[in-house]
A and B are shown apart, each in its own frame.
Chain A
Amino acid sequence: MKTAVVVFPGSNCDRDVQRAVSETLKTSVEMVWHEETKFASEPDLVILPGGFSYGDYLRSGAMAARSPIIAAVKEHAAAGKLLLGICNGFQVLTETKLLPGALLTNTTTTFICKRSYIRVEQTDNFFTYGLKKGEVVQYPIAHHEGLYFLPPAELEELEKAGRVVFRYADPNTGEAGAQYAPNGSLNGIAGICNEKGNILGLMPHPERATVSHLNGGTDGAAFWLSIARGFAERSAC
Chain B
Amino acid sequence: MGFREVGLSESEYKRIQELLGREPNDLELELIGVMWSEHCSYKSTRPLLRTFPSKGKYVLQGQGENAGVVDMGEGWGFAFKVESHNHPSAVAPFQGAATGVGGIIRDIIAMGARPSVSMDGLFFGDASLRKTQNLAKGIVEGIGSYGNSVGVPVVGGKTFYSPCYNDNPLVNAFSAGFVRLDKMASSQTAKPGDYAVLLGSKTGRDGIAGASFASRELDEDARASKPQIQIGDPFEEKLLIECCMDLLDKNLIASMQDMGAAGILSSSSEIAHKSGCGINIQVEKIPLREADMQPWEIFLSESQERMLLIVEEEKLAPVFDMAKHYGLDCAIVGEMTDTRRYRVYKNGALEADLPTSILGDTPEIHWPSEEPRDLPERQALDLSTLKCGDAGEELLAMLSCPNGRRKNAIWEQYDSMVQLHTIAGPGEPAAIVEVPQTERACVLTMEAEPYKCWTDPYTGAAEAMALSLRGIWLTGADALGMTNCLNFASPEFPEKFYELKECLRGLADTCRALDCPVVSGNVSLYNETANDRIYPTPLVVTAGLAVERDKTVRAGKTEPGDLLYLVGPKEGSLGATRYQEAKNGRPLGKTVAPDCEAEKKFRDAALATAHGQLAKSGRVVAGGGLATTLANEAIASGTGMKLALAPETSLEALLFSEGGPRAVYSVAPENAAAFEKTWESLGCAKIGEAGGDSFEWQGIMNLPLAKLTAAFTGEN
Q: Do A and B come from one complex?
A: yes
Q: Which residues of A in the span 202-227 have a Cβ within 8 Å of any Cβ on B? A: 205, 207-208, 210-211, 213-216
The reply to whether A9 and B413 contact each other, CB–CB distance below 8 Å, is: no
Contact with A along B412-428 (1 / 0, CB 8 A): 11111111111111000
Q: Which residues of A in the span 1-52 have a Cβ within 8 Å of any Cβ on B? A: 9-10, 12-13, 15-16, 19-20, 50-52
B417 proximity list for chain A (CB < 8 A): 113, 140, 142, 205, 208, 214-216
The reply to whether A207 and B420 contact each other, CB–CB distance below 8 Å, is: yes
Instruction: Compute how far the CA of A210 lies from the CA of B151 in the bound complex, rounded to whole angstroms.
Output: 18
The reply to whether B424 and A12 contact each other, CB–CB distance below 8 Å, is: no
Task: Out of B239, B414, B419, B550, name the residue touching A16 (CB < 8 Å).
Answer: B419
The reply to whether B151 and A55 contact each other, CB–CB distance below 8 Å, is: no
Chain A residue at minimal CB-CB distance from B549: A213
CB distance from B614 to the nearest CB of A (A): 20
Q: Which residues of B in the span 613-669 have a Cβ within 8 Å of any Cβ on A? A: none
The reply to whether B416 and A113 contact each other, CB–CB distance below 8 Å, is: yes
CB distance from A203 to the nearest CB of B (A): 14
- Asked if A107 is at the interface (CB within 8 A of a chain B CB), the reply is no
The reply to whether B326 and A9 contact each other, CB–CB distance below 8 Å, is: yes
- State how many residues of chain A have any CB contact under 8 Å with chain B: 32
- State how many residues of chain B have any CB contact under 8 Å with chain A: 34
- Asked if B238 is at the interface (CB within 8 A of a chain A CB), the reply is yes
Instruction: Compute how far the CA of A15 lies from the CA of B421 in the bound complex, rounded to whole angstroms.
Output: 11
Interface residues of B (CB under 8 A from A): 141, 144-145, 148-151, 233-236, 238-239, 242, 326-327, 408, 412-425, 434, 549-550
Instruction: State whether A215 and B235 are in contact (beta carbons under 8 Å apart), knowing that A20-B420, A111-B413 are contacts in the complex.
Output: no
The reply to whether A9 and B327 contact each other, CB–CB distance below 8 Å, is: yes
The reply to whether B412 and A215 contact each other, CB–CB distance below 8 Å, is: no
CB distance from B70 to the nearest CB of A (A): 22
CB distance from B312 to the nearest CB of A (A): 27
Task: Out of A12, A140, A210, name the residue touching B150 (CB < 8 Å).
Answer: A12
Chain A residue at minimal CB-CB distance from B144: A111
The reply to whether B420 and A214 contact each other, CB–CB distance below 8 Å, is: yes
A54 proximity list for chain B (CB < 8 A): 235
**CB pairs A–B below 8 angstroms (7 shown):** A9-B239, A12-B238, A50-B418, A56-B149, A57-B235, A113-B412, A205-B417
Instruction: Compute how far the CA of A20 lies from the CA of B417 in the bound complex, rounded to whole angstroms.
Output: 13
B420 proximity list for chain A (CB < 8 A): 15-16, 19-20, 207-208, 210-211, 214, 216
Instruction: State whether A55 and B149 are in contact (beta carbons under 8 Å apart), knowing that A13-B418, A213-B549 are contacts in the complex.
Output: yes
- Asked if A112 is at the interface (CB within 8 A of a chain B CB), the reply is yes
Chain A residue at minimal CB-CB distance from B239: A9
The reply to whether A215 and B425 contact each other, CB–CB distance below 8 Å, is: yes
The 4 closest A-B pairs by CB, nearest first: A12-B151, A55-B235, A16-B420, A52-B149
- Asked if A114 is at the interface (CB within 8 A of a chain B CB), the reply is yes
CB distance from A54 to the nearest CB of B (A): 7
Task: Out of B235, B327, B408, B413, name the residue touching A52 (CB < 8 Å).
Answer: B235
Instruction: Compute how far the CA of A13 lies from the CA of B153 in the bound complex, rounded to whole angstroms.
Output: 11
B423 proximity list for chain A (CB < 8 A): 213-215
B424 proximity list for chain A (CB < 8 A): 215
Most buried by A among B150, B415, B423, B549: B415
Instruction: Compute how far the CA of A15 lies from the CA of B241 in the bound complex, rounded to whole angstroms.
Output: 14
A20 proximity list for chain B (CB < 8 A): 420
A113 proximity list for chain B (CB < 8 A): 148, 412-417
CB distance from B137 to the nearest CB of A (A): 9
A211 proximity list for chain B (CB < 8 A): 420
